[in-house]
Chains A and B, each alone.
Chain A
């Protein structure tokens, strides 16, 4: 392709709607627009004036597949604004819910969206019905993996999507701990299936070497998605409440979502499983570390396709972490503390499947939401996605246009973007207008 336009109206097998417009002149990409096309719902405006208990379940509706991440980030932000104590038992149960959520979410992305790319097929629907076919085996693995993830989340949180039991300060209903041995056994049974997936994605030789910084939450001594400080690949670390100052918003006029760069260097960066594995692999569960040792040598990696491998390893990490929690936890009756709301500010940062997720609440004297801010992973990755695609196109313009389109979709899918998340807020820096 020497000159002309290449448009993809609707990128498929991702969460939400996105498109791509590429302009080529004289064998060079002169313009590339990665366009997040979901329409905004302005949820951070809609919560203003509402009472605190209503906020987490409402903001869970930012995204179906990431709902637990938004729920927990919102709860954490409110708890910090109200100085609400959180028990160790609650933190363990939250980790357990989060593990089950990651298992289900990563499995959906890996098997339903990426697996056909690796097999050279358009869709899981084209996978042969032959039970001996590797695609068939992997697909049916995914059904088992997703089901256990969903069932465990439902047993503890009341539902895998828009979970009703987690609340400010604890859980509205506690699970019966008699269910734990059975779930531990089911998770144990999943391990060989997940190890098969890890090998499968490690064997996929696809490569797009990129160059950017990485950023994620880092716990002192374990691979954690909920607690920790924010770190980047240069070793810079900030507390959760300082995250917003770390970033600079970039308005992207053609996209329904804003982008982000580092506020000090003005450079783009990547969040998500690849960032976490690059920065946190030394903190994996010992069983996960032992059984994935040959694949951990892939990291740190700048190959965006290794985001898929990192997700597969994280599925095993979540299984092993959940088994360990269920082995050691002894539930006692607890009730979320009742407190009259007060004015305050709180920040909640979690690692959503797709990367670092930030919620910030400002509560007024009436105990209502005065302001709310959300920064989602896909918005943070948006500039990197555009830069990586530009790199790919500039290096491959001699290829057939259909192949270029297909490869571009594959690259975008490797990021596991989520457009629903990216388009729920009002993000215009009016002071800079």
Chain B
């Protein structure tokens, strides 16, 4: 079980403490995650603590996470600050889905050209403090693993989850 600088040491094997977060995207991977619960709910409930997952619960806490799964691209400084806070509170971060891993398709606006188009979107960009460019996750924080796909590849997700369960000696 890894003891990382800045995190309380972990000696007793218990549940893997995870968070599931969404930023700018269509949340298709979140929906797939809820679909995976069809098969894995009973098993995961024994070995995983979903400490933060707005799709599942109201009382969320992002501190002391072993793994943060983060879906979506980053559109603003507000989102960047939030994702940096998640990074500070997580031993490992996994980028989930195409928007987090590559920026696209949420970053489609980065390719927009032409003064008319820019003027049309300017109101939103300034009124809601958008960043000039949409960023993929590893442009904002350190990312330890990626589960690419639109939506995420569930086999890779399950293998990645397995990897962290093993890393934290939480398995079977």
Specify which of A64, A112, A124 is in contact with B29 (CB 8 Å cutoff).
Answer: A64
What 1/0 flags go to B107-118 for Cβ under 8 Å of A? Answer: 011011000010
Closest A residue to B106 using CB positions = A41
CB distance from A82 to the nearest CB of B (A): 24
CB distance from A424 to the nearest CB of B (A): 8
Q: How far is the CA of A428 from the CA of B126 in the complex (A)?
A: 14
Q: Are A61 and B26 in contact (CB under 8 A)?
A: yes
Q: Of residues 115 to 135 in B, which have CB atoms within 8 Å of A's CB atoms?
A: 117, 120-121, 123-124, 127-128, 130
Q: Of residues 54 to 110 in B, which have CB atoms within 8 Å of A's CB atoms?
A: 54-60, 75-76, 79, 105-106, 108-109
Which residues of A have CB within 8 Å of B29? 64
Which residues on B are within 8 Å of A, measured CB to CB?
22, 24-32, 34-35, 37-39, 41-42, 45, 50, 54-60, 75-76, 79, 105-106, 108-109, 111-112, 117, 120-121, 123-124, 127-128, 130, 150-151
A420 within 8 A of B: yes
Given contacts A12-B58, A64-B151, A67-B28, contact A42 B128 (CB under 8 A): no
A351 within 8 A of B: no
Q: Are A45 and B117 in contact (CB under 8 A)?
A: yes
A370 within 8 A of B: no
Which residues of A have CB within 8 Å of B123? 428
Specify which of A39, A122, A406 is in contact with B24 (CB 8 Å cutoff).
Answer: A39
Given contacts A67-B26, A428-B123, contact A41 B108 (CB under 8 A): yes
Q: Are A161 and B34 in contact (CB under 8 A)?
A: no
Size class of the A contact interface (CB-based, 8 Å): 35 or more
Which residues of B have CB within 8 Å of A15? 27
Given contacts A39-B24, A42-B108, A46-B108, contact A409 B120 (CB under 8 A): no
Q: How far is the CA of A420 from the CA of B41 in the complex (A)?
A: 25
Q: How far is the CA of A303 from the CA of B37 in the complex (A)?
A: 31
Q: How far is the CA of A233 from the CA of B127 in the complex (A)?
A: 36
Q: Are A124 and B27 in contact (CB under 8 A)?
A: no
CB distance from A403 to the nearest CB of B (A): 13
